[in-house]
Amino acid sequence: MYSAYWCPHCNDQKQLFGKKAVEELIIVECAKDGKNNQYKLCQEKGIEGFPSWEINNEIYSGTMSLNELAEMTNYDGDINFE
């Protein structure tokens, strides 16, 4: 997930995952003044909005439901998201 520390939509997205699951995400900080930022990578990838997702070499922008992300990534685990 491409994110910015100040982004309220990114915070909303993290809340959908929950504390334990969000720890499993690879979160790329794109804000130039963010901690451990990867600003150049975000620019190279053309990230313009947050959160953004890179799935199968495609960039998708916006908050996504867990079901949408599961379908897009061919997730085959439990989909009884609560």
**What tens digit of pLDDT does each residue of 40-57 get?**
999 999 999 999 999 999
Contact (Cβ atoms closer than 8 angstroms) between residue 17 and residue 27: no
Report, as an integer, the average pLDDT of 15-44.
95
Average pLDDT, the chain: 93
The rounded percent of the chain whose pLDDT value lies above 90 is 82
Contact (Cβ atoms closer than 8 angstroms) between residue 13 and residue 64: yes
What domains lie within the chain, and their CATH numbers? 2-72 (3.40.30.10)
Give the global pTM: 0.88
| Nearest-angstrom CA–CA distance, 8 and 46 | 20
Contact (Cβ atoms closer than 8 angstroms) between residue 63 and residue 18: no
| Nearest-angstrom CA–CA distance, 70 and 38 | 26
Confidence of residue 82 (pLDDT cuts 50, 70, 90): low
User: The tokens of 73 are what?
Assistant: 């990534």
